Amino acid sequence: MAKISIFGGGSWGIALAALLEKNGHQITVWSASAQKIDMLRQNHENPMLPGVKLGQDVIFTTEDSAAVEGQDLLVLSVASSYTREIAHRLSRLVAPKQKILNVAKGIEAHTLMTLSEIIEEEIPQADVAVMSGPSHAEEVGRGVPTTIVVGAKSKSTAEYIRGLFMNEVFRVYISPDILGMELGGALKNVVALAAGIADGLGYGDNTKAALITRGITEIARLGTAMGGKFETFCGLTGIGDLIVTCASMHSRNRRAGILIGQGKSYEEAMAEVGMAVEGVHSAKAAMELARKYQVQLPIIEQVNEILFAGKSADQAVKELMLRDKKLEVSDLPWPED
């Protein structure tokens, strides 16, 4: 049995807490919100994840030291925009080589850093890993078979974390490509906004398939330019996560996109969804990275125009369709005429 703390009492954190508790571990759930902790102590359930009950042995706390000191693993499941704040807050308490697993997805807008890079900057003594893949909290909480990837700098750390999480309904692969995993997880949220916008406009399966396929091309184009591995973008944390996020109504990014496609602003859409819509935060960062690494991201560029420049969704689709004629795969040779 391991002692594991979950930082963040949202739906994903609670789903993972339930999974880890089922695996026989001692679970502590931390939140900065005393109101949320009181609610969890009373109900042992997050109302955003109905039916997923935590046991009576789970500890709920707002105290930093109680959630950090002596724990075998710290799982950071806070919105990406709060990752630096929470990491900074916990830094003085984290022991050398203490393991931290980040399960959120995003890119910090003003630094263009991935979330693991933020954690390593704020807590340099920690052993930082990431987990990503096609995994809605609503399904993980109900025990629906799910596959996911743990990335770490050392194989032993990845294998240790895999052993904590893996069971008959939660299969865990491991990877050394932390950067590729994080870029796939962050950028797919932007493409999922585009997929939702297309749904909101009333488009069909053809459009969705095109957005998913060309979307992963954009993600891999930028990701490999930054040093990620192409194979990662072909796997669970790339195309796998993109498919589930673009296709499912569990996806808050897709749901926000639908509302935007129906004419609402991104602020209105985020308020109606009622949870963090990470794609909005990652969209600007993606374009900054595209300029830095001199790659073209036409879908992500149009999402930015819709979100932040007032462009209509209809006009954005027309511009995507009428771009200069291209080869689908530019390095395939043609036979001689």
Catalytic residues: 188
Terminal-to-terminal C-alpha distance of the chain = 67
Token pair belonging to 302: 């149009």
Contact predicate 8/115, CB 8 Å? no
Helix (H) or strand (E) holding 36: helix 34-43
Q: What is the side-by-side order of every strand in the sheet holding 146-152? A: 59-61, 26-30, 3-7, 73-76, 99-102, 127-132, 146-152, 170-175
Cβ neighbours for 20, distance < 8 A, ≥ 6 positions apart: 4, 6, 27, 164, 165
Helix 278-293 / helix 205-225 crossing angle, nearest 10 deg: 50
Report d(CA 127, CA 89) in Å as an integer: 17
Q: Check residue 107 and report its DSSP letter.
A: B
- Region for residue 62 given its phi and psi (left: phi exceeds 0; alpha: psi -120 to 50; beta: otherwise): alpha
Output the CA–CA distances (angstroms, integers) from residue 75 to 27, 70, 266, 328, 332, in the order listed: 11, 14, 29, 40, 44
Report d(CA 187, CA 192) in Å as an integer: 9
Q: Find where tokens 């909480």 sit.
A: 141
